[in-house]
Amino acid sequence: MRLKEFILGYPNGEHEAKLVENFDTFFYDYDSNSERVLDENRFLVLGRKGVGKTLLAEYVKKKASTQQDWLCDIVSYSTLGIHELLSKVDVPAKEYKALWLWIAYLEIIKLCAQNDDMDKARRNDIAMFFVKTFSLDVFADKNAGFLRALELIIREYKQRRIAKLNEYLKALETIVIDAMKTAPTKYTLFIDNLDFHFINSDAYTNTIKSLIRTIMGLNATFNKKEVDCKILILLRTDIFIMFNDANLQTMKRDYFLKIDWGTQLQNDSPLIAMLAHRLRVSNPVLAHMDLGDIIRTLLPDPINNVHPVKFLLSRSFFRPRHLNAYLRFIRSKHLYAPYINRYMLMSTEMDYAKHMMKEVRMEMEGHFEESKIESAFSLLAQFAPLCEYSQNTFIFPEIEEFYHRIAFSIHHYDLKELLKILFDFNVLNNVWYDKTLRKHLYSSRVKKNRISQIDYDKRFQINPGIRRALIY
């Protein structure tokens, strides 16, 4: 057994689906999410960056490809054209819904084009609609016809022919739904990469909020018309929270699927179960081992009296992407090692911390201007060395006193504002000792489906996954 034999996955779910042969056998279906996501009401898949939203969609798509009567696809927000349209044309927010409906129906028609069982007359109705409306053969030259259709729709919006477009849209809806009814086929469409050109602005917020409401209504229409068609949205939790919309927050309880890998630091963590599943599939030697034996085989050595599982998970931000990234750093330097020892974990910790620093900063982009992000990390980097002898923890008065000494170098941003940025993106956690439970507890921004608020009266802890990049 050698580390090079293990398939650890890729940071990007789309890349993993393309590059890993039979990737679906390595997929760990945590909490049966691949079934739950297809429940009748669910359409909004939420999770922090790196929790596996795209990989879940790719797994469902692969599953659909094995069934004759199920068509599934994943479309990227970056290719839909609406960002380009809104950057060039002044479209009133009230018209966003119609735009999204046009895009949704165009993508559904792409799926219909793959359905050989669809009634030819109904398929011809769709084709004739575009010929009569836009003088366009929408099914010509693979995707070129659909791209041209979108261009023509954008042109109509530029020329403010909105009433006519809405009339066309109503007719198209009837034609497409009637066509889908002619064959017992299931249609599933995922919309991904909604953080493309993400920026905390009214334009972006209104665009995505309109998408959510439009797809909820469109799915309701499909249910009412008894069409087996469903559209799902994959969205980062931090972006959804940013909307601060009471109606959406209420709606999500009934219509969302939250991918959350918990916060366990022991062998019972679903992240460890995911890792064990991948290892079993990768290597026949491990195929029949239980979880405990796999951990003892792969991670036999404690690190400074800390169990290796706890060491890894405490640095993973509780996301598969980051756990896999740490293990990939180790494997890249020790391909022929039979297991992971203390030295390997410690010697790659800096590389991983620098990687996580970049990941977190990228996740913050769009939420805050670069100078504010830089100031938050600059403050913590200068202060972190003072926390080494207190288990990387501190209280607010300590950093407040430090802040007043160096405030000139961090653009004079408010201290609590900077700490909140770091807390909201899990660079900092609150920690405290619970006398009843007789153990230390901690809270991070998103924990067990709850949104936690920063508590300036509690002790703070610097996330171990990023600490070394701050200090050295």
Closest CA to 347 of 468, 241, 247, 244: 468
Look up the CATH number of the domain holding residue 99: 3.40.50
pLDDT at 449: 47
Query: Residue 218 pLDDT more than 80?
Result: yes
- Do the domain assignments include residue 295? yes
Note down the domain range covering 305.
1-10+262-347
For residues 271 and 327, give the distance between their C-alpha atoms in angstroms, rounded to a whole number.
Answer: 13
- Do the domain assignments include residue 80? yes
- Do the domain assignments include residue 25? no
- Do the domain assignments include residue 19? no
Query: Residue 34 pLDDT more than 70?
Result: yes
Q: Determine contact, residues 344/334, Cβ cutoff 8 Å.
A: yes
Percent helix, strand, coil in the chain, to 5, is 60, 10, 30
DSSP assignment of 198-245:
--SSHHHHHHHHHHHHHHHHHHHHHHHTT--EEEEEEEEHHHHHHH--
Return the minimum-mean-pLDDT range out of 122-126, 133-137, 195-199, 213-217: 133-137
Angle at 271 between CA 266 and CA 274, to 5 degrees: 125
Task: Please check whether residues 122 and 59 belong to one and the same domain.
Answer: yes
Question: CB-based burial of residue 54 (10 Å sphere; 0-12 exposed, 13-18 middle, 19+ buried)?
Answer: buried
For residues 107 and 73, give the distance between their C-alpha atoms in angstroms, rounded to a whole number.
Answer: 9
Task: Please check whether residues 332 and 311 belong to one and the same domain.
Answer: yes
Task: Please check whether residues 360 and 280 belong to one and the same domain.
Answer: no
Q: Which residue has the tokens 């990737």?
A: 23
Instruction: Among 202, 232, 258, identify where a domain stops.
Output: 258
- Do the domain assignments include residue 31? no
Task: Please check whether residues 253 and 224 belong to one and the same domain.
Answer: yes
Phi then psi for residue 415, to 5 deg, are -60, -50
pLDDT at 468: 92
Amino acid sitting at position 317: F
For residues 209 and 430, give the distance between their C-alpha atoms in angstroms, rounded to a whole number.
Answer: 31
pLDDT in tens, 11-28: 788 888 888 888 999 999
Task: Please check whether residues 204 and 290 belong to one and the same domain.
Answer: no
For residues 311 and 464, give the distance between their C-alpha atoms in angstroms, rounded to a whole number.
Answer: 9
For residues 127 and 399, give the distance between their C-alpha atoms in angstroms, rounded to a whole number.
Answer: 66
Q: Could you count the other beta carbons within 10 Å of the beta carbon of residue 23? A: 20
Return the minimum-mean-pLDDT range out of 81-90, 125-134, 219-228, 455-464: 81-90
For residues 58 and 374, give the distance between their C-alpha atoms in angstroms, rounded to a whole number.
Answer: 35
pLDDT at 89: 64
Q: Determine contact, residues 193/77, Cβ cutoff 8 Å.
A: yes
Task: Please check whether residues 226 and 359 belong to one and the same domain.
Answer: no
For residues 470 and 472, give the distance between their C-alpha atoms in angstroms, rounded to a whole number.
Answer: 6
Task: Please check whether residues 222 and 97 belong to one and the same domain.
Answer: yes
How many residues are listed for the chain in this entry? Answer: 472
Task: Please check whether residues 190 and 45 belong to one and the same domain.
Answer: yes
Helix, strand counts (H, E) of the chain? 22, 11
Task: Please check whether residues 326 and 399 belong to one and the same domain.
Answer: no
Query: Residue 54 pLDDT more than 60?
Result: yes
Specify the number of domains making up the chain. Answer: 3
- Do the domain assignments include residue 442? yes
Better-scored residue on pLDDT, 195 or 137: 195
Task: Please check whether residues 222 and 89 belong to one and the same domain.
Answer: yes
Paired with 451 in beta bridges are 446
pLDDT at 418: 95
pLDDT at 226: 93
Instruction: Among 258, 278, 312, identify where a domain stops.
Output: 258
Paired with 186 in beta bridges are 70
- The distance between the two most distant Cα atoms of the chain, rounded to a whole number of Å, is 77
Instruction: Among 258, 289, 307, identify where a domain stops.
Output: 258
What does pLDDT average to over the chain?
88
- % of the chain exceeding 90 in pLDDT: 57
Task: Please check whether residues 230 and 139 belong to one and the same domain.
Answer: yes
Q: Determine contact, residues 81/42, Cβ cutoff 8 Å.
A: no
Confidence of residue 396 (pLDDT cuts 50, 70, 90): very high
Within 8 A by CB and 6+ apart from 35, the residues are 29
- Do the domain assignments include residue 297? yes
- Do the domain assignments include residue 280? yes
DSSP 48: -
Return the minimum-mean-pLDDT range out of 102-111, 327-336, 433-442, 450-459: 433-442
Integer CA distances (angstroms), 180 to 125, 166, 177, 347, in order: 12, 21, 5, 57
Task: Please check whether residues 244 and 96 belong to one and the same domain.
Answer: yes
For residues 263 and 28, give the distance between their C-alpha atoms in angstroms, rounded to a whole number.
Answer: 18
Q: What pTM was estimated for this model as a whole? A: 0.92
For residues 77 and 155, give the distance between their C-alpha atoms in angstroms, rounded to a whole number.
Answer: 20
Query: Half-sphere exposure of 39 toward its Cβ, with a 13 Å CA cutoff?
Result: 12
Better-scored residue on pLDDT, 116 or 424: 424
DSSP assignment of 394-430:
E-HHHHHHHHHHHGGGTTT--HHHHHHHHHHTTSEEE
